[in-house]
Amino acid sequence: MEEKRMPLLGDAFPQMTVQTTHGRLNLPDHYHGKWWVLFSHPADFTPVCTTEFIAFQKRKDEFDKLNTELIGLSMDQVFSHLKWEEWIKEKTGVEITFPIIADTGAVAEALGLIHPGKGTNTVRAVFIMDPEGKVRLILYYPQEIGRNIDEILRALKALQTSDAENVALPAGWPENELIRDAKIIPPPTSVKEKQERLEKKEKGEIDCYDWWFCYRKA
């Protein structure tokens, strides 16, 4: 019997049908051709989760510009999600427009969202998937700490830039303390590539601290 485990970086997101506030969706097929962010929260009608949902919604236009969909999740029933959405709109004026999965526990188990040392609610997990449905980033936060949605956006932009330009991105990109918004060129894998890298440096085509640490400015 094949052992079940949560998906790891580079894995295909597991096939599943989920009930959401927008109806039943087949994942990951529903989002084929788009990036998408799945994020779990401990429970509806809780203060930290409410601030997170508002923060995600307020940045939805930025996710849209990156061809990225949002989908939330907790182990609450659909009617609870719907009532919570009503409450958020009534009290804060923010309308939640992305779907929320009503999980019975099966999705949480498949994705490793229940951490016994932190109770029986889902932790604050973030999964970023690419247009082919592969898991590209996973973040976990405990229930007591809200997420930084701007960091999720930054990571998403970095992943898309890395894919498009075959580069790596430094810490804090695009505001790295050492090379600012420059993009790191992957290290050479042969003597020939190493020599070509040094020649490009001599021509001023790229900048390098050494042959294994070269970058190009934005």
Beta-bridged to residue 175, according to DSSP, are none
User: Taking the CA of residue 97 as centre, how many other CA atoms within 13 Å lie in the half-sphere pointing to its CB?
Assistant: 11
Pick the catalytic residue from 27, 37, 38, 49: 49
Q: Residue 101: name the closest of 123, 124, 76, 127 by CA.
A: 76
Alpha-carbon gap, residue 13 to 6, rounded angstroms: 9
Q: Strand (E) positions, the chain?
A: 16-20, 23-27, 35-40, 68-74, 100-102, 124-129, 135-141, 183-185, 207-210, 213-216
User: Which runs of consecutive H residues, i.e. helices, occur in 121-168?
Assistant: 149-165
CB 145 within 8 A of CB 41: no
CB 64 within 8 A of CB 37: no
Tell me if residue 208 is catalytic: no
Alpha-carbon gap, residue 58 to 96, rounded angstroms: 9
The residues annotated as belonging to the active site are 49
